[in-house]
Amino acid sequence: MLDKINKLKAEIAALTAKDGAEVEALRIKYLSKKGEVSALFNDFRSVPADQKKAMGQALNELKNAATEKINSLKEAVENADTETTGIDLTRTAAPLPLGTRHPLSLVREEIIDIFRRLGFSIAEGPEIEDDWHVFSSLNFAADHPARDMQDTFFIQRNPDVLLRTHTSSVQTRVMEKAEPPIRIICPGRVYRNEAISARAHCFFHQVEALYVDKNVSYADLRQTLLYFSREMFGQDTEIRLRPSYFPFTEPSAEMDISCKICGGKGCNFCKHTGWVEILGCGMVDPNVLEACGIDSKKYSGFALGMGIERITNLKYQVKDLRMFSENDKRFLEEFESAR
């Protein structure tokens, strides 16, 4: 029996394995219940009493040596996996570079969110439009300069097909179909035939808001503007409405907010006035309501329109409009934390 033990000991000491499966096969061969080492333990019962002590010791040594050998083979193949593939599966994953939200998207979502809290829902319209929705329905006179080729991109003339110059066209599209009360905001891209510079671009983005119902008043407009401005720029923001003119509103106004950069004291950004212009607004002209099939004696409404680039500039002080469309990663990555 001692011979058998020694033979097995030598055999086990010389074992090798290439992978985990081979190690497992060896473990079963030698150490499982029906394995060769266990078989020797069964033979142990017939060993004469005077040899039991020495034989028992030898058997235990064999079992320990076999267990150690199998464990060291197991460890070796596991380490070999790392060495051959070069991948350390235990390492923490390196952070993946994630994209960032575009600043204009961030600001658009913020504007939408504020108006949503006031009960406005989103409406959209096409970027390729006709004269009726962009101009005629909105009370533009036949000789209004915005209808000129110098301001508008025409795709076709007579009948006119053009790129919308403002999101006010969505007002018409909604009013033509829906019955008041109407409470919508319309975010979207608009196009104008402008030379591209730091301060102007041939396309930009607007958000339009429209509220039509019975008894909608200028006070409702003003309160909505105040709420929007304070949510957007902080609760200490003041607003100021200056009389203005738009064909589709009467009366019309432009809204300024107190300058966020100098807090109203006057700086380069606000041209030392303490105020910056943000948007155009007014009470929907009865002609527009009627053109869209809404009874202007029964209903009234307010509308407002703002440029998303302008709001973004104010929030993040982007000096050059062209940055928004150049896709320079260095610029876009600055908005990582706003993701």
Angle at 230 between CA 286 and CA 317, to 5 degrees: 100
Grouping H, G, I as helix, E, B as strand and the rest as coil, residue 242 is strand
Which two three-digit tokens encode residue 111? 């504007």
Q: 166 vs 260, which CB is nearer to ligand DAH?
A: 166
List the one residue out of 56, 23, 21 whose CA is nearest residue 40. 56
| 164-183 positions binding ligand DAH, by CB under 6 A | 166, 168
Give yes or no for residue 111 binding ligand DAH (CB under 6 A): no
Q: Out of 120, 140, 204, 246, name the contact with ligand DAH by CB under 6 A.
A: 246
- Contact call for residue 305 and ligand DAH (CB under 6 A): yes
Strand 300-307's sheet: what is its strand order?
121-122, 182-191, 203-213, 300-307, 275-284, 249-258, 239-246
Q: Do residues 224 and 256 touch, judged by C-beta distance below 8 A? A: no
Give the total of residues touching ligand DAH (CB under 6 A): 11
Determine the straight-line distance between the first and last CA of the chain, rounded to whole angstroms.
74
- Closest-approach residue to ligand DAH (CB): 305
Q: How far is the CB of 332 from ligand DAH (least distance, A)?
A: 27
User: Of 5-34, which residues contact ligand DAH (CB under 6 A)?
Assistant: none
Among 245, 260, 235, 244, residue whose Cα is nearest residue 310: 260
CB 303 → ligand DAH: shortest distance, Å?
Answer: 3
Q: Do residues 5 and 12 make contact, with C-beta atoms less than 8 angstroms apart? A: no
Which residues ranging from 190 to 209 are in contact with ligand DAH (CB under 6 A)? 208
By CB under 6 A, which span of 79-87, 234-242, 298-306, 308-316 interacts with ligand DAH? Answer: 298-306
Kindly state the smallest distance separating residue 306's Cβ from ligand DAH, in Å.
7
Q: Which residues of 269-278 are buried (b: 16+ CB within 10 A; e: fewer)?
A: ebeeebbbbb
Per CB under 6 A, the list member of 221, 282, 288, 324 interacting with ligand DAH is 282
Burial of 262 (0-12, 13-18, 19+ CB in 10 A): middle
Among 184, 257, 303, 308, binds ligand DAH (CB under 6 A): 303
Closest approach, Cβ 167 to ligand DAH, in A, equals 7
CB of 98 to ligand DAH, least distance (A): 35
In angstroms, what is the minimal distance from the CB of 256 to ligand DAH? 14
Binding site for ligand DAH (CB under 6 A): 166, 168, 208, 246, 249, 280-282, 303-305
